[in-house]
Amino acid sequence: MDSDDECRISQGDYVVLKRGDVYKSVQVETKKKIIFEKQWIFLDAAIGELYGSTFELDAGGKLCLRKPKNTEEDSTEAKEAGQDNRHIIDDGKSQKLTRDDIESLKEQGMKGQEIVQQLINNSTTFRDKTEFAQAKYIKKKKKKYESKVTILKPTSRILAMMYHGREPGKVCHLRYDTLAQMMTLGNIHAGSKIIVFETCAGLVLGSVMERMGGHGSVIQMYPGGGPVRAGMESFGFPSRFHDTLHEFPLCKVNALLSGTLNVDEKDADSANNGQSEEPSAATSSGSSESQSMEVSTDPSEAKKMEEREKLREQKAQEKRVKMEEKRKRLAAAAALLEGRNADGLVIASRFHPCPVLLGLLRFVAPSRPFVVYCQYREPLIECYTKLREQGGAISLKLTDSWLRQYQVLPNRTHPVLLMSSGGGYLLSGITVCADTTTSGAPRKTDEPAAKRIKLDEISSSSNSSQ
């Protein structure tokens, strides 16, 4: 694909809409209504435009490309400012324009910038406000009446800001600066084999795939019935990125470690159940069909019966094909894990990280980094203690991510009042040969893996929560 085409919005692309500090991930489709900030939007006009373009919304929800920065931005000027605001009384009568007047201006097709100017001209107290108060008034009215939308290309930072601002619980309150540290501490790069276990709606998985650029292998460990990849899909990766992605259920880790994994076992049982159900269904359908034929010899009824039978067989065939594809994916992921030569491990989960970390570290090759994220400190302290006791890891570090945003304006530079209180905690380290600890003492291996790694409990709790 040409580099210029990658910079332009195309049909079917996943994009991020930005209005102020609010973000939303959507897919570009023609003639499709999208609700964003209580407004209907059609993205047809955005196709072919550059990412990062800002559009204005008309009354019908259609986008109009905004002109480049010019005097229009400065057309709403502040009037001569007063000394202070002590004589201003907020009695609700300072604005001459009523709500009906503003609605009529909108119906006449007046733009948001012009409406703001009308509000300034019809305000009896605007001139008496201080310069700072006037700027605050203009900013407030612009935010309310100017309908501007910026379309951005999805990235790890933008999607992390979107989730953290709207639904932080879905990503375990993971902040974008903490996510960046995870990618750095995990040494995520192209051509590597990375194991990912996360319950952050696929955001961490997508960030790993973005950093790898479609080169290497990513094995997603998932609890429950199937992997969650909503955040990863929002990146809009091409098909070659998906070819590098593999999946493996967490409940089968103990079987893989002990060498008793049978990729055909579960599928064979379900296939047998499906085959046992099919003859009974066929028998019952055959008996009902014969009874209906005895009652009526109408050819249209017989034709409907044949169509139902064909539809039933088609669904059974599709189910068998899906099961075979799932078996092949499971076998491919197991083959990658059996070598126990992964280049890194990334964990960000709402579950207790200790059993997951101790189990998955056995698939990582020596002298490779690993990183674990948790919203709270105490679970990571337990992981730190366990690793120090049993060995297999060095350079263990437990860090706290901290970020402060500042408002930088003339004579008004200060920290932002509404900001995140914490960015979670990270435990990072480097694997070493599993036979020795940092002090050279032999590692304790008297307990079987199934007893030391309680991963099945995580899978069952995930099923109940889902």
pTM: 0.77
Work out the average pLDDT over 76-97.
69
pLDDT at residue number 447: 43
pLDDT at residue number 176: 93
CA separation, residue 269 to residues 147, 161, 433 (Å): 57, 44, 39
Task: Note the pLDDT tens digit of each residue in 445-464.
Answer: 444 443 445 665 565 455 44
Decide: 141 and 119 in contact? Cβ < 8 Å: yes
Helix (H) or strand (E) holding 2: none
Percent helix, strand and coil across the chain, each to the nearest 5: 45, 20, 35
Distance between CA atoms of residues 217 and 336, nearest Å = 9
Task: Note the pLDDT tens digit of each residue in 33-55.
Answer: 888 887 888 888 889 999 999 98
Q: Has residue 435 got a pLDDT over 70?
A: no
Q: Locate 280 and state its tokens.
A: 């009974």
